[in-house]
Amino acid sequence: MTSTSSTDTGERVSTVAVPGGDLAYEILAGETEPVLAIHGISGHRRLWSWLHAGAPEITLIAPDLRGRADSLAVVGESSPVRHADDMALLLDALGLESVHVVGMSMGGFVAVHLADRHPDRVKSLILVDGGFPMAVPPGLTRDTVGQAFADRVGRLERTWDSVDDLLAYFCSTTAPLLDPTDPLLRHYLEHDLRAGRVRLSADALVSDAVGIFFDDVPWERITHPTRFLHAQWSAGRDTLPAYPPDAVSRYAAVATTVVGVDGVDHAGSIMSHRGALATADLVREALA
């Protein structure tokens, strides 16, 4: 069962009951069958604003995962597996038997677990710089995994006087190649803030990061058509990408289509017009 309300900005936000609370989602209406769009580890549903702007004909189901934004109050376990089961409940509530699924970063891992645990619910996967196993950074352990996300944790440790302040921090740490004058980026960060605080659970972030780096990723069991997009860099120009060439070659063996996007880093793989248009092409290919 779902409920729907309107926000001050005119968004039609709905919720679905999941273990621990009510999960928020929005449907970005287009002309196609609905595509489930799953954001990354520190993001929320407005991550898909760039894709929606570049390909408005694609209908997107965009949830805020538990521990984020309008789903901040959902309590309990957080992991890529738990998110995958939440997505199955969302599809149940919407009466959708199966959908194409696009996931960015951690959202790609959630998509892979969804296809593994609920294979009949997934038509195909579009993985945007995520979903396939990433190399564990040197020295990283389960106990220190939060250090790899120090920039995200840093957002939670202060009260932000304005969106401008958060924007400056975001572009100097997490996403140095994004355009700070992009209105879609401001729109995205506005959804983060309430009363000067970023709506992101540190516990959920760390628990999910452990799941990404240290838990089994069942990519070798997936038989669904899988399209894979990877960025040239990780966090800024000339940084080591999440998927170096040897990793891309390994995963290309099981992918229907592989696309590399030059000139963007991990965030820009979807939060830039170049990345969003490349993603849109893969979604259109899947829908076709």
DSSP string, 234-277: SSSTTPPPSS-HHHHHHHHTT-SEEEEETT--TGGGTSSHHHHH
Beta-strand relationship, 12-18 and 21-28: antiparallel
Look up the domain containing 261 and give its range: 2-138+216-287
Helix, coil or strand: residue 165? helix
Residue 247 belongs to domain with CATH number = 3.40.50.1820
Task: Quote the number of domains for the chain.
Answer: 1
The answer to whether residue 189 sits within a structural domain is no
The answer to whether residue 270 sits within a structural domain is yes
Per-residue model confidence (pLDDT) at position 172 = 94
Per-residue tokens: 267 = 């965030």
Per-residue model confidence (pLDDT) at position 147 = 78
Distance separating alpha carbons of residues 176 and 253, to the nearest angstrom: 32
| pTM for the predicted model, two decimal places | 0.95
Per-residue model confidence (pLDDT) at position 7 = 54
Per-residue model confidence (pLDDT) at position 230 = 98
The answer to whether residue 124 sits within a structural domain is yes
Query: What count of residues does the chain have?
Result: 288
Fill in the amino acid letter for 9: T
The region, left, alpha or beta by phi > 0 then psi within -120 to 50, assigned to residue 105 is left
Residues with pLDDT less than 70, the chain: 1-10
What separation, in Å, do the N-terminal and C-terminal C-alpha atoms of the chain show? Answer: 31
Would you give the distance in Å from CA 116 to the centre of its chain?
A: 18
Instruction: Please state, in angstroms and as integers, the Cα–Cα distance from residue 273 to each residue in 144, 188, 268, 276, 280, following that order.
Output: 34, 14, 8, 5, 10
Per-residue model confidence (pLDDT) at position 260 = 98
DSSP conformation letters of 60-99: EEEE--TTBGGGTT--S--SHHHHHHHHHHHHHHHT-S-E
Per-residue model confidence (pLDDT) at position 76 = 96
The answer to whether residue 187 sits within a structural domain is no
Burial degree of 109 (CB within 10 A; 0-12, 13-18, 19+) = buried
Residue with tokens 């696009």: 102
- The contacts of residue 27 (CB under 8 Å, 6+ apart) are 12, 14, 34, 59, 60, 61, 62
The answer to whether residue 7 sits within a structural domain is yes
The answer to whether residue 174 sits within a structural domain is no
Computed from CA positions of residues 94, 99, 103, 108, in that sequence, does the dihedral angle turn out positive or negative? positive
The answer to whether residue 256 sits within a structural domain is yes
DSSP state of 157: T
The answer to whether residue 225 sits within a structural domain is yes
